[in-house]
Amino acid sequence: MDKNIINNTEKLAEVLKMRRHQLKITQKSLAAFCNLSHNGISRIELGQSDVQLSTILKMSKVLGFKMILEMEP
């Protein structure tokens, strides 16, 4: 199981795009599954969008990942 520490929108974009490619899912298909626009997915993957948590949760169901919130000491 891979773990990715996401601390900015650019890293989130990179990880989401990488996972989508691993699963061979197009941006258009992902957009349809998540009820988002193709342009919206593109902006997320370019790090040009401040993504809502609800959007990330939709994407997680399609892309097969889970989010863990870990508190720092």
pLDDT band at 73 (very low <50, low <70, confident <90, very high): confident
pLDDT of 38-62, one tens digit each?
Answer: 999 999 999 998 899 999 999 999 9
CA angle (61 as vertex; 49, 15 as ends), nearest 5 = 45
pLDDT band at 35 (very low <50, low <70, confident <90, very high): very high
Closest CA to 36 of 57, 15, 22: 57
pLDDT of 9-30, one tens digit each?
Answer: 999 999 999 999 999 999 999 9
pLDDT exceeds 80 at position 2: no
pLDDT exceeds 70 at position 3: yes
Sorted by where each begins, the domain ranges of the chain are 9-63
Distance CA 42, CA 30 (A): 10
* CATH class name, domain 9-63: mainly alpha
Helix or strand holding residue 12 (H, E): helix 9-22
